[in-house]
């Protein structure tokens, strides 16, 4: 369970953690800035179906 400011698979509403994702989360990437269109295209091209 995440204790930091980033959470994957749930939402936060009015300070409470809500809407937990009931399933698996796979292949998550986090960036410390907004990506350009070109960078997103490169990342998308690396994904395997």
Per-residue pLDDT of the chain (49 residues; tens, 9 = 90+): 667 788 888 888 898 888 888 999 888 889 999 999 999 999 999 887 7
- Residue 35: the pLDDT is 97
**Residue 31, CA distances (Å) to 19, 20, 22, 24, 40 in order:** 23, 22, 24, 21, 11
Per-residue pLDDT, 1: 66
What are the structural domain ranges in the chain?
Answer: 11-46
* b/e sequence 19-33, b meaning 16+ C-beta within 10 Å: eeeeeeeeeeeeeee
């Amino acid at each position: 369970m995440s204790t930091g400011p980033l959470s994957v698979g749930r939402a936060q509403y009015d300070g409470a953690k809500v809407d937990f994702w009931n399933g698996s989360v796979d292949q998550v990437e986090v960036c410390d800035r907004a990506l350009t269109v070109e960078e997103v295209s490169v990342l998308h091209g690396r994904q395997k179906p």
